[in-house]
């Protein structure tokens, strides 16, 4: 394999041109084999092989700085910078991160797993070295997926780069998708450029322009003349960026190495901000990715290489699929319900609703801030918006949730998927901030189902309430009422908590997915002679009065949450106990949760055990508190 000859960028630059296509084949094969074993981001890395080769042949990393936006497209970069043999442990505890990592290599500048930030990074880097002698300045490259251009922060940075004429090379890796198909008017113009006659026939251009529209119903509204007009306005992207003071080069075939190297060398000679527009095919070279209609195998669990199908996992539905089915059902009952997401309709479970009612699902692109404020406007206009986001991405829209939704007490339901420790994607993707953030919004209701059946029950309750309502659940397989020892036909009304176990020595208030391990911890404590009462909190705010009354009588209260412990759900419940019993009479509270640190990637269960949030850890912390004589 040619890839075995490459231990760093210097080896790549020395490689004869005729061996580069073989290297590209080796890289694609290595990526497919590695991701098939452990899961990861596939489609974008397959599409960016030639582009990454060209970047490392033209620029001299790590002296020259390459920033990836987002970092999930950096697998090839890692293989070409000395980490080829470590891919067997990709996204595994102690192994390679799925994103750039300064701890791994000097070639990695920014971890950058939240989109639309790279242009601001290079703007800051340019400003930081502006006073250095020219020979000491490093060349700055931002590799930006077209999905990242749907985020407003990218436009802000473009404006500043152009206004201050900061020398930087912006490589627009245009594959037409972020997670799902890219959604923006600018992206439609980018799509026009992809339809240039140098690349496609006129019929192909029309087909491409049509396919880029976000949902099927828009096709009926877009007449053929409008599409022809759009195609004829192909220079719109060039006009847009050059109006901001940024030079435009392209578009270039992102799989033609010779043309890519020529374009990048030309851009490097310009001492101005310049955008190099590169057209790539997401999933290139691997048929199951090329033909995946939803997201070109953007991200995937471990899979069979021959078919591209995910390997069989644990039986039972995921939390996401449970929510998806419930949302579809309640949408049939409520005509005003509208679901909103930020470039992730599939990952957040909205595709079934979009398929049945396309006009009731809005994908705003990678624009969480806009999604939330638009939801506030929809609520004020009489709609019932459900904003479905990953917990980690909600932090990007906290100001809008607080002031546009909360301050105006608009009824917006936030459904936060992947809440808590998520594992394989590392510190940027753990959903540990949402409890603390949502509880800072004065008018918020915060709900945490402990089992699949409660997802439906609490979603229906959330839709009946007023003001901002948050519903959070974790990644993975959903817990069932049977696992909790509950009667599946026994319903709990509204926001009431559940007493799952009686006990006189300690009262455990468990939130969301920590209910099952708290029950298991109670069994471990019972073996040591300690009798633990366990409650399923269900509603963190407002907390159930009956539960608080019971906890106020306990000699010790333990709160357990899969979220940041400081200012989180446990702190909220402890405050409510003090309000109820008084400062001098409230019981002591031991709060268990995620510590304030950046936790590395690894399997979620392993991480939860390491930080004491599995059954053994909860039991150990509670036992220590019960036997502490200090």
Which residues are marked as active site? 282, 368, 396
Q: Report H helices in 469-544.
A: 515-527
Residues forming a β-bridge with 274? 169, 247
Phi-psi region for residue 382, left (φ > 0), alpha (ψ -120 to 50) or beta?
left
Rg (C-alpha) for the chain, rounded Å, is 26
258: helix, coil or strand? helix
Alpha-carbon distance 328 to 333, whole Å?
A: 9
Q: Answer whether 192's CB lies under 8 Å from 186's CB.
A: no
Q: Answer whether 535's CB lies under 8 Å from 507's CB.
A: yes
Per-residue 3-state assignment (H helix, E strand, C coil) for 430-464 = CECCHHHHHCCCCCCEEECCCCHHHHHHHHHHHHH
Q: Which of 347, 418, 338, 343 is nearest to 380 (CA)?
A: 338
140: helix, coil or strand? strand
Q: Answer whether 371's CB lies under 8 Å from 364's CB.
A: yes
Angle among Cα 169, 243, 131 to the nearest 5 degrees reads 45
DSSP letter, residue 79: I
Kindly state the tokens that stand for 240.
């847009």
Longest dimension (CA), the chain: 82
Alpha-carbon distance 435 to 511, whole Å?
A: 10
Kindly state the tokens that stand for 357.
């009612």
> Could you give the dihedral angle defined by the CA atoms of residues 342, 348, 354 and 360, in that order, rounded to the nearest 10 degrees?
-60
Q: Answer whether 159's CB lies under 8 Å from 346's CB.
A: no
Alpha-carbon distance 23 to 15, whole Å?
A: 9
Q: Which of 242, 265, 239 is nearest to 165 (CA)?
A: 242
Alpha-carbon distance 342 to 553, whole Å?
A: 45
Angle among Cα 311, 316, 320 to the nearest 5 degrees reads 90
Q: Answer whether 456's CB lies under 8 Å from 450's CB.
A: no
Q: CB neighbours of 470 closer than 8 A, spacing ≥ 6?
A: 414, 416, 434, 438, 444, 445, 446, 447
Q: Answer whether 302's CB lies under 8 Å from 190's CB.
A: no
Kindly state the tokens that stand for 462.
């959330």
Q: Which of 65, 67, 83, 63 is nearest to 75 (CA)?
A: 83
Q: CB neighbours of 248 closer than 8 A, spacing ≥ 6?
A: 237, 238, 241, 242, 274, 275, 277
DSSP letter, residue 401: I
Kindly state the tokens that stand for 536.
């399923």
């Amino acid at each position: 394999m040619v890839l075995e000859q490459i231990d760093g960028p210097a080896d790549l630059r020395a490689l004869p041109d005729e061996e580069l296509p073989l290297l590209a084949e080796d890289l694609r094969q290595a990526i497919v084999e590695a991701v098939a074993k452990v899961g990861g981001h596939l489609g974008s890395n397959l599409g960016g092989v030639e582009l990454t080769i060209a970047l490392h042949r033209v620029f001299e990393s790590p002296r020259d700085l390459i920033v990836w936006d987002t970092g999930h497209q950096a697998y090839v970069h890692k293989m070409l910078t000395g980490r080829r043999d470590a891919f067997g442990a990709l996204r595994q505890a102690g192994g390679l991160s799925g994103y750039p990592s300064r701890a791994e290599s000097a070639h990695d500048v920014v971890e950058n797993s939240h989109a639309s930030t790279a242009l601001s990074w290079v703007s800051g880097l340019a400003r930081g070295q502006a006073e250095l002698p020219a020979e000491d300045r490093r060349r700055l490259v931002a590799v930006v997926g077209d999905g990242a251009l749907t985020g407003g922060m990218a436009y802000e940075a473009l404006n500043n780069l152009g206004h201050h004429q900061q020398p930087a090379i912006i490589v627009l890796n245009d594959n037409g998708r972020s997670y799902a198909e890219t959604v923006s008017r600018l992206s439609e113009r980018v799509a026009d450029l992809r339809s240039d006659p140098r690349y496609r026939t006129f019929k192909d251009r029309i087909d491409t322009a049509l396919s880029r529209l976000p949902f099927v119903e828009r096709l009926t509204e877009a007449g053929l003349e409008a599409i022809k007009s759009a195609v004829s306005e192909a220079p719109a992207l060039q006009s847009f960026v050059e109006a901001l003071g940024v030079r435009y080069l392209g578009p270039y075939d992102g799989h033609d190495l010779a043309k890519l190297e020529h374009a990048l060398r030309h851009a490097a000679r310009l001492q101005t901000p310049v955008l190099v527009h590169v057209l790539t095919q997401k999933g290139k070279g691997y048929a199951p990715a090329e033909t995946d209609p939803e997201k070109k195998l953007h991200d995937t669990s471990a899979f069979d290489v021959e078919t591209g199908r995910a390997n069989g996992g644990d039986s039972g539905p995921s939390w996401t699929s449970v929510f998806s089915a419930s949302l579809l059902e309640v949408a049939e009952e409520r005509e005003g319900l509208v679901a909103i997401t930020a470039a992730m309709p599939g990952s957040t479970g909205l595709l079934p609703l979009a398929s049945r009612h396309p006009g009731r699902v809005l994908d705003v692109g990678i624009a969480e801030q806009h999604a939330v404020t638009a939801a506030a406007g929809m609520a004020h206009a009489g709609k019932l918006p459900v904003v479905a986001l990953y917990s980690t991405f909600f932090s990007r829209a906290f100001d809008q949730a607080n002031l546009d939704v909360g301050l105006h007490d608009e009824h917006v339901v936030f459904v936060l998927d992947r809440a808590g420790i998520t594992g394989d994607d590392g510190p940027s993707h753990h959903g540990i901030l949402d409890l603390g953030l949502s509880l800072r919004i004065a008018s918020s209701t915060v709900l945490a189902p402990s089992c699949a059946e409660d997802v439906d029950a609490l979603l229906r309750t959330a839709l009946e309430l007023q003001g901002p309502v948050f519903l959070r659940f974790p990644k993975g397989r959903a817990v069932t009422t049977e696992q909790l020892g509950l009667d599946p036909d026994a319903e709990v009304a509204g926001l009431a908590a559940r007493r799952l176990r009686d006990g006189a020595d300690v009262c455990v208030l468990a939130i969301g997915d920590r209910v099952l391990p708290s029950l298991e911890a109670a069994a471990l404590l019972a073996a040591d002679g300690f009798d633990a009462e366990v409650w399923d909190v269900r509603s963190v705010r407002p907390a159930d009065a009956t539960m608080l009354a019971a906890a106020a009588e306990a000699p010790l209260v333990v709160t357990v949450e899969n979220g940041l412990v400081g200012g989180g759900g446990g702190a909220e419940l402890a405050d409510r106990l003090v309000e109820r019993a008084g400062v001098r009479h409230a019981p002591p509270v031991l709060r268990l949760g995620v510590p304030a640190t950046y936790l590395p990637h690894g399997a979620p269960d392993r991480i939860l055990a390491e930080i004491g949030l599995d059954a053994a850890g909860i039991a150990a912390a509670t036992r220590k508190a019960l036997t502490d004589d200090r």
